Amino acid sequence: MALIVQKYGGTSVGSPDRIKNVARRVAQYHSRGDQVVVVVSAMSGVTDNLIKLAKEIMPLPNEREMDVLLATGEQTTIALTAIALHSLGVPAASLTGAQAGIVTDGVHTKAKIQNITPKKIHDLLNQGQVVIVAGFQGQTIEGQVTTLGRGGSDLTAIALAAALKAQLCQIYTDVDGVYTADPRIVPGAKKLDEISYDEMLELASLGAKVMQSRSVEFAKKFGVIFEVRSSLNDNPGTIVKEETRNMEEVVVRGVSLDKNQAKVTLVAVPDKPGIAARIFKAIGDSNINVDMIVQNISHGSGAPATDLSFTIDKPELLKAQKVIDSLKKEVGFGQVIATENIAKLSIVGVGMKSHSGVAGKMFDILAREGINIHMISTSEIKISVVIDLAKGEQAMKTVHQAFLG
């Protein structure tokens, strides 16, 4: 007998039939004698739709009220899932985040979990019930409804697995697990049996959106081993855990492509102390996330000047251009070149720590394809390049073939 936390995402509970399918799965574990805690998301599209409704009334709705609104999505699913289990004769009870004892801070729409008191969950499990918990939501100590940020049901599941010391934590989704690349772009992509937290984090933040990044960080911090798998078949999924020595034998675990970035270049920026600080402070103050930054060496014969390029999320480009324009007089740079037609291609693997020549190999593959590299950035387990958007998918296929083919 094991205590299992299972999380089902929006597509896995996207219709009454899908909810019945979830109930059948849960019933199997329950009939084995396992204690099952089920965390569910809102049915697919529901959260987006609630946000749309609110914005039709007012462009910037109050965040406390947004939490009250969005929490209804998951509340619908917990009740329907309990009803589906009852229809199979399985005893089950639904709990909202607050009822499940999930206490958060008061930062509406992106609250952090502060602690979990799972007494009610244990009581129900001990009565032989399946417990169904609403993902993505909690409550402040003052009793205000909060939500945990988009994709937050993953976090609910991981945090509950930690608090309940679950033997198994399964994240059910509509793909078979984590792949070496997006299979829609790279047909030869392979499902991974296992991946380390750090690799998963890099791949997630690089645009391979399988799970909410915060939930993976949480799992790493508390050592929660979990499995990402499909709710639509019985194939084993991908185990996510702390890296082991044999994981380092694989140099590249996965390749990802982020098409959601834009690049800004400031030409002839005065090369003296405090300039970069001034520019990036202004951008940071406007809540624009900067990813890569590249600064060239000084050039020209007059006052020393340098070119400065950086990347940001595409939807922030207009906002960034405004901030830059407002600095032009004060900082005194030349032309500003902005483009949305870029993609960031990355290779990720803990094996890079102990293997050399990986960057050279990647650049060589791109060169043979005639693909120009605009920017490069590296970490211990990742190499990213910015290239033309139009060449992005071709580059991804070739690099995948060379390292993982």
Asked if 135 interacts with Mg ion (CB under 5 A), we say no
333-352: which residues touch ligand ASP (CB under 6 A)? none
Distance CA 31, CA 55 (A): 45
Q: What is the dihedral of CA 395, 400, 401, 405, to 10 degrees?
A: -170
Binds ligand ASP (CB under 6 A): choice among 101, 118, 135, 177? 135
Least Å from the CB of residue 310 to Mg ion: 29
9-28: which residues touch ligand ASP (CB under 6 A)? 10
Asked if 9 interacts with Mg ion (CB under 5 A), we say yes
Listed residue (266, 263, 269) closest to 331, CA to CA: 269
Asked if 213 interacts with ligand ASP (CB under 6 A), we say no
Asked if 136 interacts with ligand ASP (CB under 6 A), we say yes
SS3 394: helix
Least Å from the CB of residue 218 to ligand ASP: 14
Is residue 133 a contact partner of residue 8, using CB atoms and an 8 Å limit? Answer: no
Of 41 and 346, which has the nearer Cβ to ligand ASP?
A: 41
Q: What one-character-per-residue DSSP string does 63-129 give?
A: HHHHHHHHHHHHHHHHHHHHHHHHHTT--EEEE-TTTTTEEE-S-TTS--EEEE-THHHHHHHHTT-
Residue 152 partner contact from ligand ASP, Mg ion, none using kind-dependent CB cut-offs of 5 to 8 Å: ligand ASP
Asked if 231 interacts with ligand ASP (CB under 6 A), we say no
Distance CA 268, CA 309 (A): 11
Q: What one-character-per-residue DSSP string does 340-374 give?
A: S-EEEEEEE-GGGGT--SHHHHHHHHHHHTTPPP-
Least Å from the CB of residue 116 to Mg ion: 20
Asked if 177 interacts with ligand ASP (CB under 6 A), we say no
Least Å from the CB of residue 212 to ligand ASP: 7
Residue 374 partner contact from Mg ion, ligand ASP, none using kind-dependent CB cut-offs of 5 to 8 Å: none
Asked if 112 interacts with ligand ASP (CB under 6 A), we say no
Q: Which residues contact 396 (CB under 8 A, 6 or more apart)?
A: 181, 182, 185, 186, 255, 257, 345
Binds ligand ASP (CB under 6 A): choice among 42, 121, 158, 255? 42
Q: Put the strands of the sheet holding 145-147 in their side by side order.
A: 113-116, 102-104, 137-139, 145-147
Specify the DSSP class assigned to residue 191.
B
Is residue 181 a contact partner of residue 166, using CB atoms and an 8 Å limit? Answer: no
Of 211 and 347, which has the nearer Cβ to Mg ion?
A: 211
150-209: which residues touch Mg ion (CB under 5 A)? 151
Of 154 and 198, which has the nearer Cβ to ligand ASP?
A: 154
Distance CA 324, CA 327 (A): 5
Binds ligand ASP (CB under 6 A): choice among 118, 138, 151, 177? 151
Q: What one-character-per-residue DSSP string does 301-331 give?
A: SSS-EEEEEEEEEGGGHHHHHHHHHHHHHHH
Asked if 153 interacts with ligand ASP (CB under 6 A), we say yes
Least Å from the CB of residue 103 to ligand ASP: 18
Asked if 254 interacts with ligand ASP (CB under 6 A), we say no
Distance CA 364, CA 352 (A): 17
375-404: which residues touch Mg ion (CB under 5 A)? none
61-90: which residues touch ligand ASP (CB under 6 A)? 73
Binds ligand ASP (CB under 6 A): choice among 152, 254, 349, 351? 152
Q: Which residues bind ligand ASP (CB under 6 A)?
A: 10, 41-42, 47, 73, 135-136, 150-154
Q: Which residues bind Mg ion (CB under 5 A)?
A: 9, 151
